[in-house]
Structure 1
Amino acid sequence: MRAFRHLDEVRRDFPELAAGVVRVEGITADVSAEARVAAFLAVADARLDGRAESELPEVRAWRRVFSRMGLKPTQYRCASEALLRRYRVERVMPRVHPLVDLCNAVSMAFGVPVAALDLDRVEGSLEVRYARGDEVYHTFAGGTEHPNPGEVVFADAAHRAHARRWTNRQSGYSAVRDGTEAVLIVAEAVHDTAVADVRELTAVLAGEVAGLWSVEPRSAVLDADGARFDLGGG
């Protein structure tokens, strides 16, 4: 079965982890998500009122995880913190693709990293695991890198790393683009109320995607050892 899962070693070392997944087909780039993006940005505005993104409990928890992985949290930020930091400083969220824009806005509203991957660019199953160091990571600038051994990555059957440093940075190889049709959305949280918040975030995202694209996404919350999500497609 082609599946998405966190390997046991990651679950063992980070038992607080909760993950939400949404799989959807029929995505197009000609949908306007602006009204919904604006609504979620308003939530982010309210959460940032009078405080920095680093004070949010969701972000503080990821900072602790990054420190446990040997990463300096002020040098490598989880995706939601990076988005919120840029938004707080520049007061703008760059537009990329309606689905990516929606995911980014939801990520900022909840303070939780959300990844969106083009499933047609993922070979076989997708596993969140510790890197061996021979995986290939494609940057958005067109270059390639090898993750450091022991680094948490999203890796597929072709030994491509579709994300580096866990929730820090996605790969340009599987980034959602105009021709993308099938997408896997992954939200991951490690704070005290992660399970409940990820469940809400996943339901919200699935509902927004269903409404905007008139599709029927599949979703699940993975919060236990051995939990996996069927990606379909053989």
Structure 2
Amino acid sequence: MYFQHAPAIRSAHPGLAATAITAAGITADADVEEQVARFTAIANARLAGGAESDLAEIKAWRQAFSTMGLKPTQYRCASEALLRRLRKEGELPRIHPLIDLCNAVSVAFAIPVAALDLDQISGDLEVRPAIGDEVYHTFGGTTENPEPGEVIFADSENTSHARRWTNRQSGLSAVRAQTSRVLIVAEALHESAAEDISALMKTLVEELTAVWRVTPVSAVLSQEAPRFTV
């Protein structure tokens, strides 16, 4: 299978930088408390200088959401939602060690990071505008159809694994206790996105290797090299 952004997405967002990382052998019994504490401390230091909405990384996503016709204060990218929760509650939720690690790295970099169960994805996965007949599985067990033109993560079976781009992942491919093979995707749009995405990728690869003793495969995706083969 492959993961990529459709030409229409890259054309509309020429500053887009992304990374894709795969790893097999993920388990739910890992201890990532040290990593979570370290990365949330970085995020808290950044938040001490102002609200999350002041960060360049978040401003770029807010602008993109506005361009897509979405109210930025109603639909937030995942990293903004996490930073907002961290600022208000003082900590991040604990869900699964891999998700906890990705969330902590996400707030440290202020960049959305998605972790998906590869075994729940059928065929290729593409970030593209929705037709409107794709099926999205909520965490509550119901299904929805995305709005036509909405940016989604769509697989070969017409399943939507995310809605409103970096706003909300699908319950179907969410990482759970039995998850072993994962695809991690991070995307950024701000001025230094390419450099920051590369640093984020290196950070996650190092942490995955140290915590789970796995050998991740990763790549930075760009206009020139838009496709990642799993």
If the TM-score is normalised by the length of the shorter chain, which range does it land in?
Answer: over 0.9
Whether the 8 Å contact between 1:7 and 1:226 is mirrored in structure 2 is no
Q: Residue in 2 aligned with 1:19? A: 18
How far the C-alpha of 1:141 sits from its partner, in A, is 1.0
How much has 1:202 moved relative to structure 2? 0.4
Structure 2 length-normalised TM: 0.99
Please give the residue correspondences for 1:77-88 in structure 2 after superposition, counting only pairs within 5 Å.
Answer: 77-88=76-87
Counterpart in the other structure of 1:71: 70
TM-score between the two structures when normalised by the length of structure 1: 0.97
SS in 1 for 2:161: strand
Q: Which residue of 2 aligns with 1:224?
A: 223
* Closer/same/farther in 2, CA of residues 143 and 221 from structure 1, 3 Å limit: same
Write the letter of the residue equivalent to 2:162. A
**1 CA distance for matches of 2:9 and 2:186?**
16
Q: Which amino acid aligns with 1:158?
A: E
Paired residues of 1:8 and 1:226 also in contact (CA < 8 A): no
State the AA in 2 paired with 1:120: D
Partner of 1:6: 5
**8 A Cα contact 1:137 1:171, kept in partner:** yes
Deviation at 1:215, TM superposition (A): 0.5
Say whether 1:35 aligns with 2:29: no
Residue 190 of structure 2 corresponds to residue 191 of structure 1: yes
Deviation at 1:226, TM superposition (A): 5.4
The root-mean-square deviation of aligned C-alpha atoms, in Å, is 0.7
Q: Which residue of 2 aligns with 1:129?
A: 128
Deviations 1:105-145 (A, max 9, x none): 00000000000000000000000000000000011111111
- Report the Cα offset of residue 50 of structure 1: 3.6
Query: Could you list the per-position Cα deviations for residues 183-222 of structure 1 after superposition, in whole angstroms to 9, with x for gaps in the alignment?
Result: 0000000000000000000010011001100010000000
Distance in 2, Cα, partners of 1:55 & 1:104: 19
- Structure 2: stretches of 5+ with no match in the other structure: none
User: Percent identity at matched positions?
Assistant: 60
Give the corresponding residue for 2:94: 95
Q: Secondary structure at the match of 1:59?
A: helix
Q: Aligned residue for 2:45? A: 46
Query: Amino acid of the residue matched to residue 217 of structure 1?
Result: P
2:177 maps to 178
Give the 3-state SS of the residue equivalent to 1:4 in structure 2.
strand
Within 5 Å, which residues of 2 pair with 1:196-211?
A: 196-211=195-210
1:213 aligned residue = 212
Correspondence for 1:104: 103
Give every structure 1 segment of 4 or more consecutive aligned residues whose post-TM-superposition deviation is greater than 6 Å.
none
Match in the other structure for 2:57: 58
Alignment of 1:111-122 (within 5 A): 111-122=110-121
1:159 aligns with: 158
